[in-house]
A = this chain, B = another copy of it.
Amino acid sequence: MDSPLHDERLTLAGLFFESYAGLASSLGRRLEAECGLTVQWFEVLMRLARSPEGRLRMSDLTAQVTLTPSGLTRVIDRLEAAGLVSREACPTDRRGSLAVLTEQGRARMEVAVPIHLGHLEDLFTGVLDDEERVQLEHALRKVRDRVNPCATAGVADPAAHVG
């Protein structure tokens, strides 16, 4: 049983992917059913809600969410069609576009965030005790830094912006 087909690294990775898939799927189903929001939508609206005046450049948004520029364009298209976001011209760079949270968008998030937090607690953080959460965060941070070194910026954290 020490064949490469049963290597412990495969087991750990499998567990990781399986956990992710299950979590994303359950979370997505509930969020959609109770808030009418996709996980992607939530993610984008979240980043906007965290930003000053609820506005962010497309390129900044692209860097924060796991999405290519073209993917983000479509998401914003749909969010705009749904009335949750609107586009504005960037005042300092005429190439640029700003995504801004509408009143309706903010209202939706004020409902959705607590609900989503409940789901998270129920399906994810609730099954771990404090120590386990700390250890998990530690391990995930190391992995994240390995596979995505240029993260650690973004999130409305004024002390962290690189270029």
Interface mask (A128-162 → B, CB under 8 Å = 1, otherwise 0): 10001101111111111111100100000111000
Give complex CA distance A158, B145 in Å: 34
Q: Is A46 an interface residue (CB 8 A)?
A: yes
Work out how many copies of this chain go into the complex.
2
Chain B residue with the shortest CB-CB distance to A142: B127
The answer to whether the Cβ of A73 comes within 8 Å of any Cβ in the partner chain is no
Cα-based distance from A84 to B8 in the complex (angstroms): 25
Q: Which residues of chain A in 35-49 are interfacial with respect to chain B, using CB atoms and an 8 Å cutoff? A: 46, 49
A residues with a Cβ closer than 8 A to B are: 1, 4-7, 9-13, 15-26, 46, 49-50, 66, 113-114, 117, 120-121, 123-125, 127-128, 132-133, 135-148, 151, 157-159
